Amino acid sequence: MSTPHITAEVGSIAPTVLLPGDPLRAQHIAKEFLSECVEVSTRRNMLAYTGRYRGEHITIMGSGMGIPSCAIYVTELARVYRVKRIVRIGTCGGIGDVEIGDLLMAQSAATDSNFNRLHFGGHDLSACADFELMRDVSAQAERASIALRVAHVFSTDCFYDGDADILGLLARHHISGIEMESAGLYGVAMRESIQALSVLTVTDHLERDEHMAPDQRERGLMQMAELVLDSLLIRKIDAQESGSTKA
């Protein structure tokens, strides 16, 4: 069985999914990090790969751009494929005192999208990340000496020509990154009772005219993917290590 948007057979997607926006990035990360890597979905070229990372079953799949696209995949992954953990790895524009190349872990995601309100009786949903995932990514970043900032982000529906005053408002509320998916990911995850988190590299500064060079983007993406993959295993590795100490 497949879904309207995912061709994978049920059972061929792992309980843990890494979700970059760009399907070709999903392919690149999967080929770099996964052993026994199999392409499991190709519909609309939203490529998905399942394999093993240090023995752990992982799927890496593109989400597309924007909340509606991301939410379709996340909903089907949760409902049909019984996925339990989804970590978005993406990019964002920076606001305030962040620098190009900074790594943000999105604790919360405000939004100008109506998507969560449509599911929440018109009220404002506090779209939040999963605490356990945040703790594990944070612990692994510390272990690997990778600087990681816990941040609030803003998920916009308008890449172009959005609210002209938005940057001032975001800065006023100490929101450090702007992207297009996390609020939808968190909203669906809360409803579907799965764990979700977004980890984002700052690729552009929206108040200064600064942009990340393509080779730095590539390095940042791979470092972010490795950090998240290692953090997903952190409790398993700790358990193995404390078991081997005891033995």
Q: Could you give the CA distance from residue 144 to residue 124 in angstroms, rounded to a whole number?
A: 37
CB of residue 109 vs ligand HPA: minimum separation in angstroms?
12
Active-site choice (102, 204, 215, 238): 204
Q: Which of 98-106, 201-209, 223-231, 237-245 is the region at the interface with ligand HPA (rule: CB under 6 A)?
A: 201-209
Binders of ligand HPA: how many residues, by CB under 6 A?
11
Q: Is 156 in the site for ligand HPA (CB under 6 A)?
A: yes
Q: Could you give the CA distance from residue 22 to residue 218 in angstroms, rounded to a whole number?
A: 13
Selection from 134, 133, 4 nearest residue 79 by Cα: 4
Q: Which of 39-47, 48-56, 71-79, 90-98 is the region at the interface with ligand HPA (rule: CB under 6 A)?
A: 90-98
Q: Which of 23-31, 71-79, 178-186, 207-215 is the region at the interface with ligand HPA (rule: CB under 6 A)?
A: 178-186
Q: Is 184 in the site for ligand HPA (CB under 6 A)?
A: no
* Long-range interactions of 27-34: CB distance < 8 A, separation 24+: 29/60, 29/89, 29/221, 29/222, 29/225, 30/60, 32/222, 32/225, 33/60, 33/225, 33/226, 33/229, 34/58, 34/60
Can you tell me which of 44, 143, 147, 159 binds ligand HPA, judged by CB under 6 A? 159
Q: Is 91 in the site for ligand HPA (CB under 6 A)?
A: yes
204 belongs to the catalytic site: yes
Catalytic site positions: 204
In the complex, the residues that contact ligand HPA under the rule CB under 6 A are 91-93, 156, 159, 178-180, 203-204, 206
